[in-house]
A = this chain, B = another copy of it.
Amino acid sequence: MTIPTLKNDTLIRALLKQTVEYTPVWLMRQAGRYLAEYNATRARAGDFLALCKNPAFATEVTLQPLARFPLDAAILFSDILTIPDAMGLGLYFAQGEGPMFERPLRNEKEIHALAVPDPATELRYVIDAVSEIRNALDNRVPLIGFSGSPFTLACYMVEGRGGTEFREIKTMLYQRPELLHHILDINAQAVTAYLNAQIESGAQAVMIFDTWGGTLSHAAYREFSLHYMQQIISGLIREYNDTVIPSIVFTKGGGLWLEAIASIGCNAVGLDWTIDIGEARRRVGSKVALQGNLDPSVLFASPEVITAEVKKILASYGNGSGHVFNLGHGISQFTPPDNAAALVEAVHTLSREFHINSV
């Protein structure tokens, strides 16, 4: 399987566990508030949602971190809640709050009225952004598409906002599981169509962000989050234009369930920083590649500390391919950009020795 058009295909090769010369690196939320140029574009756009919904602005901010750092991937700039917004729930951002919905799901009638949005029309702005970013990237590095997981989307759809203690959705989960399953099934269909539309318009890898699955019990996680991510993975386009499209699944706080996550058919599993990546590698064996897993707080320390912490993760993963370096969560808005540069530099420099015998 070759990826002929990419000038730097290190990310794709690592996700497929093919040999690489160094460990590729990108940063979750790499286009974001820690960059002055991002804040400037956002100010021009008006607000965060306007930024997401305008393909030209989305392209501009997606490429900003690549202009600063030699990252091995771009990731579509978008919001994780585009799907429920397209379902008509009315996404908005109140000052100083996270995302909120004007019309959260409040009764059975609303739940049964949910329909799978057509990405080609109702999420056109995302699909257009993907094409435009691909053009702008000119095959320098691969573009990662993404979506929130069905359960994570459902949390916002039922609670109406983030940052809650999940009382509404967990009450539904335990008392009316069939209602939650209905929402999750619609969400899984919607995410599948959405990611496939991203692939067809140019995404070269896709990632599912399961931000809130880690708040579930071990049994509820499998039934209400992992099951639906498996359904999505089964429905994804695996090859497009003769190239494999790798998939990454990331459940924050999912370290205890690693074997289960690694068995749903995805190519790679994202790790937060609570697990030793060497231990994770032993647990998943050759099934999947691993992505992670530096605590984003390390980027508040000096370049020397960052380099030392990068080294520990590279050494723990050990020799050979199958590792994509990343943070264990999105980069903080308080990160000095020079420290992100130090991280990328450390990964690129220090990882070469772990790939000498593999190339």
* Cβ contact within 8 Å between A218 and B305: no
Cβ < 8 Å to B, chain A residues 220-239: 220-221
Q: Is A93 an interface residue (CB 8 A)?
A: no
Assembled-state Cα–Cα distance A274/B175 (Å): 19
Can you list, as one digit per residue, whether each of A274-311 has a CB less than 8 Å from chain B (1) or not (0)? 11100100000000000000010110111001000100
Cβ < 8 Å to B, chain A residues 147-203: 165-167, 170-171, 173-175
The interface residues of chain B lying within 8 Å CB-to-CB of A166 are 297
Q: What is the minimal beta-carbon distance from A269 to any residue of chain B, in angstroms? A: 14
* Cβ contact within 8 Å between A253 and B276: no
Partner of A334, one of B167, B305, B309, B332: B167
What is the copy number of this chain in the assembly? Answer: 2
Q: Is A354 an interface residue (CB 8 A)?
A: no
Q: What is the minimal beta-carbon distance from A224 to any residue of chain B, in angstroms? A: 12
Chain B's closest residue to A169 (CB) is B297
The interface residues of chain B lying within 8 Å CB-to-CB of A256 are 255-256, 274-275
Partner of A301, one of B174, B255, B305: B174
* Cβ contact within 8 Å between A274 and B253: yes
* Cβ contact within 8 Å between B274 and A214: yes
Partner of A174, one of B167, B255, B305: B305
Assembled-state Cα–Cα distance A214/B221 (Å): 19
**Which 6 A-B pairs rank lowest in CB-CB distance, beginning with the nearest?**
A170-B297, A174-B301, A171-B300, A217-B273, A175-B301, A255-B256
- Determine which residue in A171, A218, A312 has the highest number of CB atoms from chain B within 10 A of its CB, and name it: A218
Chain B's closest residue to A163 (CB) is B163
- Determine which residue in A174, A175, A216, A219 has the highest number of CB atoms from chain B within 10 A of its CB, and name it: A174
* Cβ contact within 8 Å between B253 and A220: no
Could you jot down 18 A-B contacts, CB within 8 Å?
Answer: A165-B332, A167-B300, A170-B295, A170-B297, A170-B300, A171-B301, A174-B298, A174-B301, A174-B309, A175-B302, A214-B274, A216-B274, A216-B295, A219-B276, A220-B295, A255-B255, A255-B256, A256-B256
Partner of A219, one of B221, B302, B312: B312
- Determine which residue in A217, A279, A298, A302 has the highest number of CB atoms from chain B within 10 A of its CB, and name it: A217
Chain B's closest residue to A254 (CB) is B274
Q: What is the minimal beta-carbon distance from A264 to any residue of chain B, in angstroms? A: 18
The interface residues of chain B lying within 8 Å CB-to-CB of A312 are 219
Q: What is the minimal beta-carbon distance from A165 to any residue of chain B, in angstroms? A: 7
The interface residues of chain B lying within 8 Å CB-to-CB of A171 are 297, 300-301
* Cβ contact within 8 Å between B275 and A218: yes
Chain B's closest residue to A300 (CB) is B171
Chain B's closest residue to A165 (CB) is B332
* Cβ contact within 8 Å between A174 and B297: yes
